[in-house]
């Protein structure tokens, strides 16, 4: 259901359920989680790409097919957290940058998956929507992540009306970073990856951690956190190498430490 490939320094995770529009169930979510978790232990892995199979859908959200394995709304009171919540927490804590390759439409829980990624490159034909109200529901587990990515008034409109937006509007709202025609999607993704992979892995790890930490702090708390972190960051080997390389006018040789 989930295809995992290590392409040099990048781990590709593909939801391979094209016939079900790459919908999520417990097994799919567990396999995505394992692929993300193990990527951090792969020597030389610097980034993760998350995508869907085909060109129709990045992810259609929860699999609502009757009898679907790991049905999204099944209740198991022995588990204190839902499997999708576990995945979102894992993605937030992952030290590697996670890039969404939005190969097609993104609906319902798929929007939560998109927002849990750190950056996104989308095909121009993609539509993004939360149509849950059309079946008597509203987005719930995906809402905390969406609130941190999508402007509030637009998000409320999307959640209550269930109407999707196109990729150009998603770009304007900052939901995705870059757009490309379908046939140029991978080239645009490689363009973005190239601008990550030549940077300090240590700086990227610290930067992602600081971003998520400060986002939920007051300004005063953020400043206190920053003045502690800046000295720790400056003491890393990558920072020292970067400063030397800048002074010597040469490319830095990162060690990731």
Its CATH architecture, for the domain 2-197, is Alpha-Beta Complex (3.90)
pLDDT reported for residue 66: 62
Please choose, from the candidates 72, 117, 68, the residue with its C-alpha nearest in 3D space to the C-alpha of residue 90: 117
pLDDT of residue 67: 61
> For residue 78, what pLDDT is reported?
75
Average confidence score pLDDT of the chain: 94
The pLDDT tens digits of the residues spanning 19-30 come to 999 999 999 999
pLDDT at 74: 64
220 counts as catalytic: no
Q: Which of 77, 76, 113 is nearest to 98 (CA)?
A: 113
Q: How many CB atoms lie within 10 A of CB 6?
A: 12
Place of tokens 């995505």: 32
Q: Please state, in angstroms and rounded to a whole number, the distance separating the CA atoms of residues 177 and 179.
A: 7
C-alpha R_g of the chain: 19
What are the boundaries of each domain within the chain? 2-197, 201-248
Predicted confidence band of residue 63 (pLDDT cuts 50, 70, 90): confident
State the pLDDT confidence band at 5, using cuts at 50, 70 and 90: very high
| pLDDT surpasses 60 at 84 | yes
Instruction: Give residue 8's pLDDT.
Output: 96
Say if residue 73's pLDDT is above 70. no
Confidence of residue 75 (pLDDT cuts 50, 70, 90): low
pTM of the model: 0.94
Q: Which of 65, 132, 152, 248 is catalytic?
A: 132
Q: Which tens digit of pLDDT belongs to each residue from 187-215?
A: 999 999 999 999 999 999 999 999 999 99
């Amino acid at each position: 259901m989930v295809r995992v490939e290590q392409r040099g320094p990048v781990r590709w995770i593909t939801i391979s359920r094209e016939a079900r529009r790459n919908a999520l169930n417990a097994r799919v979510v567990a396999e995505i989680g394992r692929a993300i978790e193990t990527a951090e232990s792969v020597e030389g892995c610097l980034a993760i790409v998350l995508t869907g199979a085909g060109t129709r859908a990045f992810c259609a959200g929860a699999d609502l097919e009757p009898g679907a394995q790991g049905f999204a709304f099944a209740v198991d009171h022995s588990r204190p957290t839902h499997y999708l919540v576990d995945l979102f927490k894992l993605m937030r804590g992952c030290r590697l940058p996670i890039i969404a390759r939005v190969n097609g439409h993104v609906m319902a829980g798929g929007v939560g998956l998109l927002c849990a990624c750190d950056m996104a490159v989308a095909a121009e034909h993609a539509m993004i929507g939360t149509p849950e109200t059309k079946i008597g529901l509203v987005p719930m587990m995906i809402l905390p992540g969406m609130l941190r990515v999508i402007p509030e008034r637009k998000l409320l409109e999307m959640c209550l009306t269930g109407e999707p937006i196109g990729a150009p509007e998603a770009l304007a709202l900052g939901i995705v970073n870059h757009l490309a025609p379908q046939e140029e999607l991978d080239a645009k993704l490689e363009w973005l990856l190239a601008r990550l992979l030549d940077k300090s892995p240590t700086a990227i790890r610290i930067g992602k951690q600081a971003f998520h930490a400060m986002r939920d702090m007051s300004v005063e708390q953020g400043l206190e956190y920053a003045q502690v972190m800046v000295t720790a960051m400056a003491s890393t080997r990558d920072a020292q190498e970067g400063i030397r390389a800048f002074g010597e006018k040469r490319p830095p040789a990162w060690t990731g430490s």
